[in-house]
């Protein structure tokens, strides 16, 4: 296996780094403080193809691999974790629609999403259906050539400021096989949005609940067939887990890089902090774990690209490991700065706040352990991962 990036991947990485340094990093603290959703910057990202990285070219996207996309997201997350995390969600919505929607829905939405002209939200979680997504209650009742949506979603990123909602709703009582996916215009009659949630992190992207009351959706807005929704959602979440793990890696890299500069600039007891062995050992561990997390994430992305039969397990392992380890790296970087790390004048406290939720969303890390354990203990196979 070749662990080196090829010429194209190096070019993608440099492009993403330049965008992050120009558009994201200088504004991230202000966006966090003001709880500002940078739609203008997201649209500029769209002009560069960053809103449809792995969306097929037929849908207006770049058609990149998940590995290539991960390399790009890592560089962007170093500029602003929360904005990049939203972009990963938007990319998932764009890919789902361009892959599974009807021709008429694709014509209406696909290129607009890929270009960043329109923005999307992913609507799966409900008040009583978080980790147990198959128990969702939002319903879609067929009436003639329409479906009637009723129910509610919570913790929806971008809600209230996006144009398309990709909604998972129940079309039958048949458990996970009774769930279907719909592309819903976010401005449809009967849709209402809750207040903007006050969160620990991810403050530059709005998070709201959504209520659906007799919302009419054209039958042509169904993705795939009735009952395909849970399968579509799980395929999306494999990539989503790689994406959010990547955001953790990028944030941890930014935190470590900042801490390393600080170690050379700050003096105590008449010498640089970098000369103290205790701190040398700390950054040695941080860097080693960061490299391990990066390689695990890229391995999972490669498994996903190659449709490996165990790709879901690799994605779960990468998400569990990278989000745990990289949060700890951010926390250790804050510790290196001491009291300064706790101040909003420095970015470390924001890195910690923004990366904490990564251990919860796209499936909690406890659920990742369930997925991994089921594969290695329960399934009837002796193959080693």
Residues serving a catalytic function are: 362
Query: What is the token pair recorded at 221?
Result: 């807005």
> Which residue in this structure is represented by tokens 């892959």?
99
For β-strands 164-170 and 271-272, DSSP reports them as unpaired
Q: CA 121 → CA 85, 210, 262, 267, 284, distances in Å?
A: 12, 11, 38, 47, 39
Report the alpha-carbon angle 131-215-199, nearest 5: 40
C-alpha 94/C-alpha 310 separation (Å) is 25
- What's the distance, Cα to Cα, between the start and end of the chain in Å? 16
> Which residue in this structure is represented by tokens 């361009």?
98
200 and 353 in contact (C-beta within 8 Å)? yes
For β-strands 139-143 and 146-157, DSSP reports them as antiparallel
C-alpha 293/C-alpha 367 separation (Å) is 19
The angle, 0 to 180 degrees and rounded to 10, between the axes of the packed helices 66-77 and 277-305 is: 150
The candidate with the shortest Cα–Cα distance to 348, out of 280, 256, 268, is 256
Query: What is the token pair recorded at 135?
Result: 């128990």
> Which residues, 6 or more positions from 68, have their beta carbon under 8 angstroms from its beta carbon?
8, 9, 12, 53, 54
């Amino acid at each position: 296996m070749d662990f080196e990036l090829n010429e194209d991947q190096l070019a993608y990485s440099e492009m993403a780094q330049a965008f992050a340094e120009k558009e994201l990093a200088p504004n991230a603290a202000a966006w966090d403080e003001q709880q500002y959703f940078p739609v203008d910057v997201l649209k500029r990202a769209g002009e560069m193809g960053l809103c449809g990285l792995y969306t097929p070219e037929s849908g207006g996207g770049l058609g990149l691999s998940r590995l290539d996309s991960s390399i790009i997201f890592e560089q962007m997350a170093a500029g602003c974790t929360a904005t990049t995390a939203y972009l990963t969600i938007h990319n998932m919505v764009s890919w789902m629609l361009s892959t599974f929607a009807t021709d008429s829905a694709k014509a209406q939405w696909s290129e607009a999403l890929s270009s960043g002209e329109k923005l999307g939200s992913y609507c799966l979680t409900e008040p009583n259906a978080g980790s147990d997504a198959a128990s969702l209650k939002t319903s879609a009742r067929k009436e003639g050539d329409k479906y009637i949506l009723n129910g509610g979603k919570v913790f929806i990123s971008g809600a209230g400021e996006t144009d398309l909602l990709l909604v998972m709703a129940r079309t039958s009582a048949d458990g996970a096989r009774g769930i279907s996916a719909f592309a819903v215009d976010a401005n449809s009659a009967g849709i209402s949005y809750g207040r903007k949630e006050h969160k620990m992190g991810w403050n530059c992207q709005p998070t709201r609940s959504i209520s659906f009351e007799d919302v009419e959706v054209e039958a042509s807005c169904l993705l795939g067939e009735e009952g395909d929704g849970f399968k579509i959602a799980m395929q999306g979440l494999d990539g989503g887990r790689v994406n959010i793990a990547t955001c953790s890696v990028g944030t941890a890299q930014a935190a470590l890089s900042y801490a390393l500069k600080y170690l050379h600039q700050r003096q105590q007891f008449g010498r640089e902090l970098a000369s103290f062995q205790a701190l040398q050992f700390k950054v040695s561990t941080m860097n080693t774990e960061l490299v391990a997390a990066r390689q695990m994430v890229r391995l999972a992305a490669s498994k996903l690209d190659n449709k490996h039969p165990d790709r879901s397990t690799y994605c779960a392992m990468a998400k569990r490991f990278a989000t745990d380890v990289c949060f700890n790296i951010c926390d250790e970087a804050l510790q290196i700065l001491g009291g300064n790390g706790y101040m909003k004048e420095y970015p470390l406290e924001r890195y910690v706040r923004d990366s904490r939720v990564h251990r919860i969303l796209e499936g909690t890390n406890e659920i990742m352990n369930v997925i991994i354990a089921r594969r290695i203990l329960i399934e009837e196979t002796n193959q080693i991962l």
